[in-house]
Structure 1
Amino acid sequence: MNNRNRGKNTGDDNLFGSEKQLGKLKLAVQDMQYLLTRGYAEKAGSELVGNRYRLKTRQIQALRGASASDMQIHERNLKQLKSSELKDRIIYLDGFNVLILLESLLSEAYIFEGADGCFRDLSGIHGTYKRVNQTLKAVELVASFFQKNKVQKLVWVFDQPVSNSGRVKQMVLAFASENNLNWESELQLNPDKFLAESSEIIISSDAWILDHCKQWFNLIGYLIQEESLSVNLIKTL
Protein backbone atom coordinates (compact mmCIF):
# COMPACT_ATOMS: atom_id res chain seq x y z
CA MET A 1 0.00 0.00 0.00
CA ASN A 2 1.39 3.38 -0.95
CA ASN A 3 1.54 6.07 1.68
CA ARG A 4 -0.99 8.40 0.11
CA ASN A 5 -4.54 9.48 0.68
CA ARG A 6 -7.24 11.43 -1.12
CA GLY A 7 -7.47 14.35 1.29
CA LYS A 8 -7.96 18.07 0.79
CA ASN A 9 -6.13 20.06 -1.84
CA THR A 10 -3.91 22.86 -0.68
CA GLY A 11 -6.16 25.90 -0.49
CA ASP A 12 -9.42 24.00 0.08
CA ASP A 13 -9.69 25.37 3.63
CA ASN A 14 -9.59 28.90 2.18
CA LEU A 15 -12.25 28.02 -0.38
CA PHE A 16 -14.63 26.07 1.86
CA GLY A 17 -13.53 26.47 5.47
CA SER A 18 -15.02 29.85 6.45
CA GLU A 19 -18.59 30.98 7.11
CA LYS A 20 -18.18 33.67 4.45
CA GLN A 21 -17.19 31.18 1.71
CA LEU A 22 -19.86 28.70 2.81
CA GLY A 23 -22.55 31.41 2.70
CA LYS A 24 -21.42 32.37 -0.79
CA LEU A 25 -21.56 28.74 -1.99
CA LYS A 26 -25.07 28.26 -0.57
CA LEU A 27 -26.35 31.36 -2.37
CA ALA A 28 -24.63 30.19 -5.56
CA VAL A 29 -26.36 26.78 -5.35
CA GLN A 30 -29.76 28.49 -4.93
CA ASP A 31 -29.11 30.67 -7.99
CA MET A 32 -27.88 27.69 -9.98
CA GLN A 33 -30.98 25.66 -9.09
CA TYR A 34 -33.13 28.59 -10.25
CA LEU A 35 -31.31 28.76 -13.61
CA LEU A 36 -31.31 24.97 -14.19
CA THR A 37 -35.03 24.84 -13.38
CA ARG A 38 -35.60 27.46 -16.09
CA GLY A 39 -33.72 25.47 -18.69
CA TYR A 40 -30.23 26.96 -18.58
CA ALA A 41 -27.45 24.56 -19.56
CA GLU A 42 -25.15 23.60 -16.68
CA LYS A 43 -22.08 25.19 -18.26
CA ALA A 44 -23.80 28.51 -19.01
CA GLY A 45 -25.47 28.57 -15.60
CA SER A 46 -22.28 27.85 -13.68
CA GLU A 47 -20.41 30.54 -15.63
CA LEU A 48 -23.08 33.13 -14.77
CA VAL A 49 -23.23 32.17 -11.11
CA GLY A 50 -19.46 31.74 -10.86
CA ASN A 51 -18.91 35.25 -12.19
CA ARG A 52 -21.56 36.73 -9.92
CA TYR A 53 -20.01 35.30 -6.75
CA ARG A 54 -16.41 35.38 -8.04
CA LEU A 55 -15.99 31.66 -7.47
CA LYS A 56 -12.69 29.87 -8.01
CA THR A 57 -12.43 26.75 -10.19
CA ARG A 58 -12.88 24.24 -7.33
CA GLN A 59 -15.81 26.22 -5.93
CA ILE A 60 -17.47 26.06 -9.36
CA GLN A 61 -16.78 22.31 -9.44
CA ALA A 62 -18.51 21.97 -6.04
CA LEU A 63 -21.37 24.19 -7.26
CA ARG A 64 -21.98 22.03 -10.33
CA GLY A 65 -21.89 18.82 -8.30
CA ALA A 66 -24.32 20.15 -5.71
CA SER A 67 -26.87 21.71 -8.08
CA ALA A 68 -29.86 20.28 -9.88
CA SER A 69 -33.15 21.55 -11.28
CA ASP A 70 -36.42 21.19 -9.35
CA MET A 71 -37.52 18.49 -11.81
CA GLN A 72 -34.25 16.54 -11.45
CA ILE A 73 -34.52 16.63 -7.67
CA HIS A 74 -38.16 15.51 -7.77
CA GLU A 75 -37.51 12.63 -10.19
CA ARG A 76 -34.38 11.44 -8.38
CA ASN A 77 -36.35 11.39 -5.11
CA LEU A 78 -39.10 9.29 -6.73
CA LYS A 79 -36.56 6.64 -7.83
CA GLN A 80 -34.61 6.52 -4.57
CA LEU A 81 -35.03 3.34 -2.51
CA LYS A 82 -34.84 2.87 1.26
CA SER A 83 -32.43 0.36 2.82
CA SER A 84 -35.45 -1.76 3.84
CA GLU A 85 -36.15 -2.36 0.12
CA LEU A 86 -32.75 -3.91 -0.65
CA LYS A 87 -33.07 -7.38 0.86
CA ASP A 88 -32.57 -10.20 -1.68
CA ARG A 89 -32.06 -7.67 -4.48
CA ILE A 90 -29.23 -7.36 -7.02
CA ILE A 91 -27.31 -4.08 -6.93
CA TYR A 92 -24.94 -2.58 -9.49
CA LEU A 93 -22.33 -0.29 -7.98
CA ASP A 94 -20.52 2.48 -9.88
CA GLY A 95 -17.07 1.28 -8.82
CA PHE A 96 -14.73 4.26 -9.15
CA ASN A 97 -17.45 6.78 -8.25
CA VAL A 98 -18.19 5.06 -4.93
CA LEU A 99 -14.63 4.00 -4.11
CA ILE A 100 -13.07 7.44 -4.68
CA LEU A 101 -15.86 9.21 -2.82
CA LEU A 102 -15.41 6.94 0.21
CA GLU A 103 -11.62 7.30 0.06
CA SER A 104 -12.03 11.10 0.01
CA LEU A 105 -14.48 11.00 2.91
CA LEU A 106 -12.15 8.80 4.98
CA SER A 107 -9.21 11.11 4.11
CA GLU A 108 -11.09 14.10 5.60
CA ALA A 109 -11.46 15.84 2.25
CA TYR A 110 -14.47 18.13 1.92
CA ILE A 111 -17.67 16.26 1.00
CA PHE A 112 -20.65 18.17 -0.40
CA GLU A 113 -24.30 17.29 0.19
CA GLY A 114 -26.18 18.41 -2.89
CA ALA A 115 -29.71 19.62 -3.53
CA ASP A 116 -30.70 16.01 -4.36
CA GLY A 117 -29.41 14.68 -1.01
CA CYS A 118 -26.47 12.97 -2.72
CA PHE A 119 -22.90 13.32 -1.53
CA ARG A 120 -20.04 14.26 -3.85
CA ASP A 121 -16.36 15.11 -3.62
CA LEU A 122 -13.87 17.02 -5.75
CA SER A 123 -11.54 14.14 -6.62
CA GLY A 124 -11.04 12.77 -10.11
CA ILE A 125 -9.08 9.84 -11.50
CA HIS A 126 -7.74 11.56 -14.63
CA GLY A 127 -7.34 8.30 -16.54
CA THR A 128 -5.46 6.39 -13.84
CA TYR A 129 -6.71 4.98 -10.55
CA LYS A 130 -4.20 4.75 -7.71
CA ARG A 131 -4.96 2.83 -4.58
CA VAL A 132 -4.63 4.84 -1.34
CA ASN A 133 -4.40 4.20 2.41
CA GLN A 134 -8.19 4.28 2.75
CA THR A 135 -9.06 1.91 -0.11
CA LEU A 136 -9.42 -1.23 2.02
CA LYS A 137 -11.52 0.57 4.63
CA ALA A 138 -13.78 1.83 1.82
CA VAL A 139 -14.32 -1.72 0.54
CA GLU A 140 -14.97 -2.91 4.11
CA LEU A 141 -17.70 -0.29 4.50
CA VAL A 142 -19.40 -1.53 1.33
CA ALA A 143 -19.15 -5.09 2.70
CA SER A 144 -20.75 -4.02 5.99
CA PHE A 145 -23.65 -2.44 4.08
CA PHE A 146 -23.99 -5.56 1.88
CA GLN A 147 -24.18 -7.94 4.85
CA LYS A 148 -26.42 -5.83 7.10
CA ASN A 149 -29.03 -5.37 4.38
CA LYS A 150 -28.93 -8.97 3.16
CA VAL A 151 -28.40 -7.92 -0.45
CA GLN A 152 -28.51 -10.92 -2.79
CA LYS A 153 -25.64 -9.89 -5.05
CA LEU A 154 -23.46 -6.82 -5.58
CA VAL A 155 -21.83 -6.14 -8.95
CA TRP A 156 -18.94 -3.64 -9.01
CA VAL A 157 -18.74 -1.93 -12.41
CA PHE A 158 -15.46 -0.25 -13.34
CA ASP A 159 -14.41 1.87 -16.33
CA GLN A 160 -12.32 -0.36 -18.57
CA PRO A 161 -10.40 2.59 -20.16
CA VAL A 162 -9.09 3.69 -16.74
CA SER A 163 -5.56 2.49 -16.08
CA ASN A 164 -5.41 -0.08 -13.22
CA SER A 165 -9.12 -0.93 -13.54
CA GLY A 166 -8.20 -4.61 -13.97
CA ARG A 167 -6.22 -4.57 -10.73
CA VAL A 168 -9.06 -2.97 -8.80
CA LYS A 169 -11.46 -5.55 -10.16
CA GLN A 170 -9.15 -8.34 -8.94
CA MET A 171 -8.75 -6.67 -5.53
CA VAL A 172 -12.53 -6.50 -5.06
CA LEU A 173 -12.99 -10.14 -6.14
CA ALA A 174 -10.17 -11.29 -3.84
CA PHE A 175 -11.75 -9.45 -0.91
CA ALA A 176 -15.14 -11.00 -1.71
CA SER A 177 -13.61 -14.47 -1.90
CA GLU A 178 -11.80 -14.07 1.46
CA ASN A 179 -14.97 -12.81 3.15
CA ASN A 180 -17.45 -15.12 1.43
CA LEU A 181 -19.43 -12.30 -0.21
CA ASN A 182 -21.61 -12.79 -3.29
CA TRP A 183 -19.88 -10.08 -5.32
CA GLU A 184 -19.05 -9.83 -8.97
CA SER A 185 -16.97 -7.27 -10.77
CA GLU A 186 -16.89 -6.28 -14.41
CA LEU A 187 -15.15 -3.81 -16.68
CA GLN A 188 -17.30 -1.74 -19.03
CA LEU A 189 -16.18 0.55 -21.86
CA ASN A 190 -19.07 2.90 -21.06
CA PRO A 191 -20.11 2.20 -17.47
CA ASP A 192 -22.39 5.26 -17.20
CA LYS A 193 -24.56 4.08 -20.10
CA PHE A 194 -24.44 0.48 -18.84
CA LEU A 195 -25.61 1.51 -15.34
CA ALA A 196 -28.25 3.92 -16.63
CA GLU A 197 -29.79 1.23 -18.82
CA SER A 198 -29.74 -1.53 -16.18
CA SER A 199 -33.04 -2.67 -14.69
CA GLU A 200 -31.32 -3.37 -11.35
CA ILE A 201 -30.77 -1.00 -8.40
CA ILE A 202 -27.87 1.40 -8.97
CA ILE A 203 -25.45 2.91 -6.48
CA SER A 204 -23.79 6.07 -7.79
CA SER A 205 -23.71 9.81 -7.14
CA ASP A 206 -23.17 10.60 -10.82
CA ALA A 207 -25.92 13.05 -11.80
CA TRP A 208 -26.38 11.73 -15.35
CA ILE A 209 -26.73 8.15 -14.11
CA LEU A 210 -29.24 9.21 -11.43
CA ASP A 211 -31.32 11.00 -14.06
CA HIS A 212 -31.43 7.99 -16.37
CA CYS A 213 -31.45 4.88 -14.13
CA LYS A 214 -34.61 3.05 -13.04
CA GLN A 215 -33.92 3.05 -9.28
CA TRP A 216 -31.02 3.93 -7.01
CA PHE A 217 -29.82 3.86 -3.42
CA ASN A 218 -27.91 6.59 -1.56
CA LEU A 219 -25.10 4.43 -0.15
CA ILE A 220 -22.90 7.29 1.08
CA GLY A 221 -25.77 8.87 3.01
CA TYR A 222 -26.58 5.47 4.50
CA LEU A 223 -22.97 4.80 5.56
CA ILE A 224 -22.50 8.25 7.11
CA GLN A 225 -25.53 7.57 9.30
CA GLU A 226 -25.23 3.84 10.00
CA GLU A 227 -21.47 3.74 10.56
CA SER A 228 -21.38 7.12 12.35
CA LEU A 229 -18.62 8.27 10.01
CA SER A 230 -16.73 11.42 10.80
CA VAL A 231 -17.24 13.62 7.74
CA ASN A 232 -15.87 16.99 6.68
CA LEU A 233 -19.35 17.75 5.38
CA ILE A 234 -20.57 20.86 3.61
CA LYS A 235 -24.34 21.17 3.29
CA THR A 236 -25.06 23.35 0.30
CA LEU A 237 -28.71 24.05 1.09
Structure 2
Amino acid sequence: MNNRNRGKNTGDDVMFGSQKQVDKLKMAVQDMMYLLSRDYAEKASSELVGNRYKLKTRQIQVLRGASASEQQIQHRKNKQLEVSDLKNKILYLDGFNVLILMESLLSGAYIFEGADGCFRDLSGVHGTYKRVNQTQKAVELVAGFFQKAEVQKLVWIFDKPVSNSGRIKEIVLDFAEENKLNWEAELEFNPDKFLAENSEIAVSSDAWILDHCSKWFNLIAHLITEEKLDANLIKMV
Protein backbone atom coordinates (compact mmCIF):
# COMPACT_ATOMS: atom_id res chain seq x y z
CA MET A 1 0.00 0.00 0.00
CA ASN A 2 1.32 3.44 -0.93
CA ASN A 3 1.10 5.75 2.06
CA ARG A 4 3.87 8.01 0.91
CA ASN A 5 3.76 11.73 1.34
CA ARG A 6 6.26 14.59 1.55
CA GLY A 7 5.44 15.63 5.09
CA LYS A 8 7.76 16.91 7.80
CA ASN A 9 11.04 15.27 8.69
CA THR A 10 11.66 14.12 12.25
CA GLY A 11 13.00 17.13 14.09
CA ASP A 12 11.38 19.75 11.85
CA ASP A 13 8.92 20.77 14.57
CA VAL A 14 11.85 21.42 16.92
CA MET A 15 13.71 23.48 14.29
CA PHE A 16 10.75 25.39 12.82
CA GLY A 17 7.76 24.89 15.12
CA SER A 18 8.46 27.53 17.77
CA GLN A 19 8.41 31.32 17.52
CA LYS A 20 11.86 31.42 19.13
CA GLN A 21 13.37 29.30 16.32
CA VAL A 22 11.53 31.27 13.61
CA ASP A 23 12.73 34.60 15.05
CA LYS A 24 16.30 33.29 15.11
CA LEU A 25 16.01 32.20 11.48
CA LYS A 26 14.56 35.56 10.46
CA MET A 27 17.52 37.37 12.03
CA ALA A 28 19.86 34.97 10.24
CA VAL A 29 18.15 35.76 6.90
CA GLN A 30 18.59 39.51 7.51
CA ASP A 31 22.32 38.99 8.13
CA MET A 32 22.65 36.75 5.10
CA MET A 33 20.92 39.31 2.86
CA TYR A 34 23.20 42.05 4.19
CA LEU A 35 26.25 40.01 3.20
CA LEU A 36 24.86 38.96 -0.22
CA SER A 37 23.97 42.59 -1.00
CA ARG A 38 27.63 43.44 -0.45
CA ASP A 39 28.80 40.74 -2.86
CA TYR A 40 29.88 38.14 -0.32
CA ALA A 41 29.70 34.61 -1.77
CA GLU A 42 26.63 32.56 -0.82
CA LYS A 43 28.55 29.59 0.59
CA ALA A 44 30.84 31.71 2.77
CA SER A 45 27.91 33.86 3.92
CA SER A 46 25.75 30.88 4.89
CA GLU A 47 28.64 29.31 6.84
CA LEU A 48 29.34 32.56 8.68
CA VAL A 49 25.68 33.19 9.53
CA GLY A 50 25.04 29.50 10.27
CA ASN A 51 27.87 29.48 12.82
CA ARG A 52 26.75 32.73 14.40
CA TYR A 53 23.22 31.44 15.04
CA LYS A 54 24.24 27.79 15.57
CA LEU A 55 21.95 26.61 12.78
CA LYS A 56 21.39 22.97 11.88
CA THR A 57 21.81 21.70 8.29
CA ARG A 58 18.12 21.99 7.39
CA GLN A 59 17.96 25.47 8.90
CA ILE A 60 20.90 26.51 6.72
CA GLN A 61 19.04 25.09 3.73
CA VAL A 62 16.10 27.38 4.58
CA LEU A 63 18.47 30.30 5.13
CA ARG A 64 19.97 29.90 1.67
CA GLY A 65 16.60 29.42 -0.02
CA ALA A 66 15.01 32.44 1.65
CA SER A 67 17.89 34.86 1.13
CA ALA A 68 18.94 36.94 -1.85
CA SER A 69 20.76 40.21 -2.39
CA GLU A 70 18.80 43.47 -2.71
CA GLN A 71 19.83 43.57 -6.38
CA GLN A 72 18.56 40.03 -7.02
CA ILE A 73 15.23 40.73 -5.34
CA GLN A 74 14.69 43.89 -7.38
CA HIS A 75 15.74 42.15 -10.59
CA ARG A 76 13.33 39.26 -9.95
CA LYS A 77 10.43 41.58 -9.08
CA ASN A 78 10.98 43.52 -12.33
CA LYS A 79 10.49 40.32 -14.35
CA GLN A 80 7.55 38.90 -12.41
CA LEU A 81 4.20 38.68 -14.20
CA GLU A 82 0.67 38.88 -12.81
CA VAL A 83 -1.93 36.21 -13.58
CA SER A 84 -3.70 38.71 -15.87
CA ASP A 85 -0.56 38.78 -18.08
CA LEU A 86 -0.81 35.06 -18.86
CA LYS A 87 -3.90 34.91 -21.06
CA ASN A 88 -3.16 33.19 -24.41
CA LYS A 89 0.51 32.81 -23.46
CA ILE A 90 2.74 29.71 -23.52
CA LEU A 91 4.15 28.84 -20.10
CA TYR A 92 7.12 26.59 -19.36
CA LEU A 93 6.78 24.89 -16.02
CA ASP A 94 9.69 23.62 -13.93
CA GLY A 95 8.11 20.19 -13.40
CA PHE A 96 9.84 18.76 -10.33
CA ASN A 97 10.20 22.17 -8.67
CA VAL A 98 6.45 22.86 -8.84
CA LEU A 99 5.23 19.30 -8.21
CA ILE A 100 7.45 18.57 -5.20
CA LEU A 101 6.70 21.94 -3.63
CA MET A 102 2.95 21.40 -4.05
CA GLU A 103 3.20 17.83 -2.72
CA SER A 104 5.11 19.09 0.34
CA LEU A 105 2.60 21.87 0.94
CA LEU A 106 -0.36 19.48 0.66
CA SER A 107 1.42 17.02 3.00
CA GLY A 108 1.69 19.58 5.79
CA ALA A 109 5.45 20.03 5.52
CA TYR A 110 6.93 23.42 6.39
CA ILE A 111 6.98 25.87 3.47
CA PHE A 112 9.10 29.00 3.61
CA GLU A 113 8.41 32.32 1.93
CA GLY A 114 11.66 33.98 0.92
CA ALA A 115 12.70 37.60 0.38
CA ASP A 116 11.64 37.37 -3.28
CA GLY A 117 8.08 36.28 -2.40
CA CYS A 118 8.70 32.73 -3.60
CA PHE A 119 7.86 29.67 -1.56
CA ARG A 120 10.37 26.88 -1.07
CA ASP A 121 10.35 23.57 0.76
CA LEU A 122 12.97 21.20 2.15
CA SER A 123 12.32 18.24 -0.13
CA GLY A 124 14.48 17.38 -3.09
CA VAL A 125 14.55 14.89 -5.92
CA HIS A 126 17.92 13.31 -5.01
CA GLY A 127 18.24 11.39 -8.26
CA THR A 128 14.87 9.68 -8.18
CA TYR A 129 11.27 10.89 -8.14
CA LYS A 130 8.61 8.90 -6.33
CA ARG A 131 4.96 9.66 -6.80
CA VAL A 132 3.15 10.36 -3.50
CA ASN A 133 -0.46 10.54 -2.30
CA GLN A 134 -0.62 14.26 -3.10
CA THR A 135 0.72 14.08 -6.68
CA GLN A 136 -2.72 13.82 -8.30
CA LYS A 137 -4.06 16.79 -6.30
CA ALA A 138 -1.00 18.85 -7.24
CA VAL A 139 -1.55 18.19 -10.96
CA GLU A 140 -5.28 19.02 -10.57
CA LEU A 141 -4.43 22.37 -8.96
CA VAL A 142 -2.12 23.23 -11.86
CA ALA A 143 -4.93 22.25 -14.26
CA GLY A 144 -7.42 24.50 -12.48
CA PHE A 145 -5.01 27.43 -12.73
CA PHE A 146 -4.33 26.66 -16.41
CA GLN A 147 -8.03 26.83 -17.25
CA LYS A 148 -8.90 29.88 -15.11
CA ALA A 149 -5.92 31.91 -16.33
CA GLU A 150 -6.79 30.99 -19.96
CA VAL A 151 -3.20 30.03 -20.69
CA GLN A 152 -2.72 28.97 -24.32
CA LYS A 153 -0.32 26.11 -23.66
CA LEU A 154 1.61 24.67 -20.73
CA VAL A 155 4.91 22.86 -21.30
CA TRP A 156 6.14 20.75 -18.38
CA ILE A 157 9.93 20.39 -18.26
CA PHE A 158 11.37 17.48 -16.26
CA ASP A 159 14.99 16.51 -15.52
CA LYS A 160 15.91 13.66 -17.84
CA PRO A 161 18.68 12.29 -15.53
CA VAL A 162 16.17 11.79 -12.68
CA SER A 163 14.87 8.23 -12.61
CA ASN A 164 11.07 8.00 -13.07
CA SER A 165 11.04 11.33 -14.96
CA GLY A 166 9.64 9.47 -17.98
CA ARG A 167 6.89 8.02 -15.81
CA ILE A 168 5.77 11.37 -14.35
CA LYS A 169 5.86 12.81 -17.88
CA GLU A 170 3.37 10.12 -18.97
CA ILE A 171 1.15 10.74 -15.92
CA VAL A 172 0.98 14.46 -16.79
CA LEU A 173 0.29 13.80 -20.49
CA ASP A 174 -2.38 11.16 -19.73
CA PHE A 175 -4.09 13.60 -17.36
CA ALA A 176 -3.99 16.32 -20.04
CA GLU A 177 -5.47 13.99 -22.64
CA GLU A 178 -8.30 12.86 -20.33
CA ASN A 179 -9.13 16.48 -19.47
CA LYS A 180 -8.51 17.93 -22.95
CA LEU A 181 -5.77 20.30 -21.79
CA ASN A 182 -3.25 21.81 -24.19
CA TRP A 183 -0.19 20.50 -22.34
CA GLU A 184 3.15 19.17 -23.47
CA ALA A 185 5.88 17.54 -21.42
CA GLU A 186 9.57 17.28 -22.24
CA LEU A 187 12.62 15.71 -20.63
CA GLU A 188 15.74 17.90 -20.60
CA PHE A 189 19.28 17.07 -19.45
CA ASN A 190 19.68 20.58 -18.03
CA PRO A 191 16.16 21.87 -17.30
CA ASP A 192 17.33 25.00 -15.43
CA LYS A 193 19.37 26.19 -18.41
CA PHE A 194 16.56 25.24 -20.80
CA LEU A 195 13.94 27.15 -18.78
CA ALA A 196 16.16 30.21 -18.46
CA GLU A 197 17.11 30.37 -22.13
CA ASN A 198 14.16 28.95 -24.06
CA SER A 199 11.03 29.99 -22.23
CA GLU A 200 9.25 33.28 -22.71
CA ILE A 201 7.60 32.75 -19.31
CA ALA A 202 9.06 30.36 -16.72
CA VAL A 203 7.06 28.93 -13.81
CA SER A 204 9.50 28.09 -11.03
CA SER A 205 10.78 29.14 -7.62
CA ASP A 206 14.35 28.07 -8.41
CA ALA A 207 16.59 31.06 -7.65
CA TRP A 208 18.99 30.46 -10.55
CA ILE A 209 16.13 30.25 -13.05
CA LEU A 210 14.53 33.42 -11.64
CA ASP A 211 17.84 35.27 -12.02
CA HIS A 212 18.39 34.13 -15.62
CA CYS A 213 14.95 33.87 -17.26
CA SER A 214 13.27 36.70 -19.19
CA LYS A 215 9.88 36.58 -17.39
CA TRP A 216 8.42 34.39 -14.65
CA PHE A 217 5.21 33.68 -12.77
CA ASN A 218 4.88 32.82 -9.06
CA LEU A 219 2.41 29.93 -9.37
CA ILE A 220 2.67 28.62 -5.80
CA ALA A 221 1.92 32.04 -4.27
CA HIS A 222 -1.02 32.37 -6.66
CA LEU A 223 -2.43 28.94 -5.76
CA ILE A 224 -2.05 29.47 -2.01
CA THR A 225 -4.09 32.69 -2.25
CA GLU A 226 -6.53 31.70 -4.98
CA GLU A 227 -7.35 28.20 -3.68
CA LYS A 228 -7.03 29.19 0.00
CA LEU A 229 -4.67 26.29 0.56
CA ASP A 230 -4.09 25.26 4.13
CA ALA A 231 -0.32 25.33 4.47
CA ASN A 232 2.35 25.31 7.16
CA LEU A 233 3.78 28.63 5.99
CA ILE A 234 6.67 30.49 7.57
CA LYS A 235 7.40 33.98 6.27
CA MET A 236 11.16 34.53 6.48
CA VAL A 237 11.31 38.28 5.79
Q: TM-score range by the shorter chain?
A: over 0.9
Residue 9 of structure 1 is matched in structure 2 by 9
State the AA in 1 paired with 2:149: N
Residue 74 of structure 1 is matched in structure 2 by 74
Residue 220 of structure 1 is matched in structure 2 by 220
What aligned pairs does 1:95-106 form with structure 2 within 5 A after superposition?
A: 95-106=95-106
* Residues in 1 aligned to 2:95 and 2:201: alpha-carbon distance in whole angstroms: 14
> Is 1:46 paired with 2:46?
yes
* Residues in 2 aligned to 1:210 and 1:198: alpha-carbon distance in whole angstroms: 13
Q: Which runs of 4+ in 1 moved over 3 A?
A: none
What aligned pairs does 1:9-48 form with structure 2 within 5 A after superposition?
A: 9-48=9-48
Deviation by residue 1:89-112 (Cα, 9 ceiling, x = unmatched):
000000000000000000000000
Asked if the contact 2:91–2:199 (Cα under 8 Å) also holds between the matched residues in 1, the reply is: no
Deviation by residue 1:59-82 (Cα, 9 ceiling, x = unmatched):
000000000000000000000000
What aligned pairs does 1:154-193 form with structure 2 within 5 A after superposition?
A: 154-193=154-193
Deviation by residue 1:189-211 (Cα, 9 ceiling, x = unmatched):
00000001024110000000000
Deviates more, 1:17-26 or 1:196-205: 196-205
> How many residue pairs align between the two structures?
237
* Residues in 1 aligned to 2:2 and 2:185: alpha-carbon distance in whole angstroms: 23
Asked if the contact 1:198–1:214 (Cα under 8 Å) also holds between the matched residues in 2, the reply is: no
Q: Percent identity between the aligned chains? A: 77
Deviation by residue 1:183-235 (Cα, 9 ceiling, x = unmatched):
00000000000001024110000000000000000000000000000010000
What aligned pairs does 1:73-222 form with structure 2 within 5 A after superposition?
A: 73-222=73-222
**Unaligned segments of structure 1, at least 5 residues:** none
State the AA in 2 paired with 1:72: Q
How many angstroms does 1:140 deviate by? 0.2
TM-score when normalising by structure 2: 0.99
**Unaligned segments of structure 2, at least 5 residues:** none
- Name the Cα RMSD after superposition: 0.7
Asked if the contact 1:2–1:131 (Cα under 8 Å) also holds between the matched residues in 2, the reply is: no
Question: What is the SS of the residue equivalent to 2:99?
Answer: helix
Question: What is the SS of the residue equivalent to 1:3?
Answer: coil
* Residues in 1 aligned to 2:83 and 2:46: alpha-carbon distance in whole angstroms: 34
* Residues in 2 aligned to 1:206 and 1:2: alpha-carbon distance in whole angstroms: 29
Residue 235 of structure 2 is matched in structure 1 by 235
* Residues in 1 aligned to 2:235 and 2:213: alpha-carbon distance in whole angstroms: 25
* Residues in 2 aligned to 1:14 and 1:149: alpha-carbon distance in whole angstroms: 39
* Residues in 1 aligned to 2:11 and 2:86: alpha-carbon distance in whole angstroms: 40
State the AA in 1 paired with 2:219: L
How many angstroms does 1:3 deviate by? 1.3
Residue 59 of structure 2 is matched in structure 1 by 59
* Residues in 2 aligned to 1:15 and 1:235: alpha-carbon distance in whole angstroms: 15
* Residues in 1 aligned to 2:66 and 2:28: alpha-carbon distance in whole angstroms: 10
State the AA in 1 paired with 2:65: G
State the AA in 2 paired with 1:75: H
